Amino acid sequence: MKKFSASLLTFIVTMFSILIPGAAFAVDPSVEPGTIAVGSGPLDVAITADGSTAYVVNYDSDNISVVNLATGTAGTPISVGNQPTAFTIAPNGTFAYVANFNNDSPSDLTRIALPSGTPTTILSGAGLDGPRSIVFSPDGTKAYVSNQGMAANAKIFVIDTATNTKLSEIAVSPRPQNMAINSDGTKLFVSHFDNGVVSFIDLSTNAVTTPITGLSGPQGLTLAGTNYGLLYVANQTGNSVNVYNAVNGTLVTSITGFSSPESVTVNPGNTQIYVANQGADQIKIIDIATNAIIAPTLTVGDLPFYVAFAPNGLKAYVPNYGSNTLSVISFPQPPAPPAPQPAGETLANTGQDLTLGMISATLLLGFGIVSVLTGRRIRRIR
């Protein structure tokens, strides 16, 4: 009996799923053998809209690796400021902002022109001291920067992207870290690791509404589910992923079975959440319909920080802080596109381009000191 080639089988499965909507197949993602070497201390990655290039943030080598995804090789890195933590591509794809953490000291951002890679330092002297993450408004006219810094300077900086200048500041709880924004630009969600809080910010007034409290080390967060009405939060020191109603902040469920989860990313089809399970060097998958962990569990490199999907949904990329590599996850077929939303609803837009031009990945970071958790090193910016 002749054997089908992998490419032929993938083609048959994909075509069958198109011809018969709703057909389900037990085709699991897998981690490709080998990894892509990048700089020292990678903790974030952004993929261009055409899927050709990955930009990897290297915290310890103060640069950005530029990876050709067709060849799987990194070219000449882009030098940026001290201890970069985030790389976010603007909605129009012509530039990106990099947050230069600089150990809670006076700091700045780097603006990088794309695709040339030309860096320009911006916002020096604007009051930043420990910028952590960056998201853009849906129209790209504003950027929001979480300033972890000192407690007295716990703010979200609002940036005019046309002039690269500060428009305003929003005072928040101490040590703001990761963020997500809905796609109509009306609400911003911010995690605060130290005091176990997630802030909700009404961007029409820049007012902080009643926050979610009682978490244990919240880190990455993303919007997903029906009408993207659920907020998933990596509860790092609580070893869980908490799910909240994104409108009123009520707890839907808490999913256990993790070891220091660092970040959460919704897949292109809005059917699964990919969790960087940092304490076990794994990526775990949550089924959104049931909020249960499902197979397979994917083993990646040392201290994975994040999962970023290629626009076509056939690949995902994981920066491994401890091994200075990028792991590649392959999917035999692209997911079905997300279901249409009712009129008046808005999609999640939480940072860099992620999938099919419809949803985006949250820039999920975290690290800085070395602590001990079940005998493993866990990296956090504190």
Token pair recorded at residue 242: 């908490």
The answer to whether residue 289 sits within a structural domain is yes
| DSSP notation for 211-275 | EE---SSEEEEEEESGGG-EEEEEETTTTEEEEEETTT--EEEEEE--SSEEEEEE-TTSSEEEE
The answer to whether residue 173 sits within a structural domain is yes
**Mean pLDDT along residues 66-76:** 97
Confidence of residue 336 (pLDDT cuts 50, 70, 90): confident
Confidence of residue 345 (pLDDT cuts 50, 70, 90): very low
pLDDT for residue 370: 27
Full strand arrangement of the beta sheet holding 84-89: 84-89, 95-100, 108-113, 119-122
Confidence of residue 108 (pLDDT cuts 50, 70, 90): very high
Q: Which of 101-105, 191-195, 267-271 has the lowest mean pLDDT?
A: 101-105
Residue 289 confidence (pLDDT) above 50? yes
Confidence of residue 337 (pLDDT cuts 50, 70, 90): confident
**Mean pLDDT along residues 47-66:** 97
Tally of domains within the chain: 1
**Mean pLDDT along residues 179-187:** 92
The answer to whether residue 163 sits within a structural domain is yes
pLDDT for residue 340: 63
**Mean pLDDT along residues 240-264:** 97
**Mean pLDDT along residues 99-110:** 89
Integer distance in angstroms from the first to the last C-alpha of the chain?
59
- Residues 119-145 have pLDDT tens digits of 999 999 999 999 999 999 999 999 999
CATH number for the domain that contains residue 166:
2.130.10.10
The answer to whether residue 22 sits within a structural domain is no
How far apart, in whole angstroms, are the C-alpha atoms of residue 253 and residue 168? 35
pLDDT for residue 346: 34
Q: Which of 87-91, 298-302, 336-340 has the lowest mean pLDDT?
A: 336-340
How far apart, in whole angstroms, are the C-alpha atoms of residue 72 and residue 8? 23
pTM, rounded to two decimals: 0.85
pLDDT for residue 373: 28
Length reported for the chain: 382
How far apart, in whole angstroms, are the C-alpha atoms of residue 211 and residue 200? 6
Residue 279 confidence (pLDDT) above 60? yes
How far apart, in whole angstroms, are the C-alpha atoms of residue 269 and residue 246? 19
Q: Which residue has the tokens 């709880």?
A: 173
The answer to whether residue 212 sits within a structural domain is yes
The answer to whether residue 13 sits within a structural domain is no
pLDDT for residue 152: 72
**Of residues 256 and 333, more confidently modeled:** 256
The answer to whether residue 272 sits within a structural domain is yes
**Mean pLDDT along residues 14-22:** 42
pLDDT for residue 332: 92
111: domain range? 28-380
pLDDT for residue 285: 98
pLDDT for residue 126: 92
Q: What is the residue-averaged pLDDT of the chain?
A: 85
The answer to whether residue 84 sits within a structural domain is yes
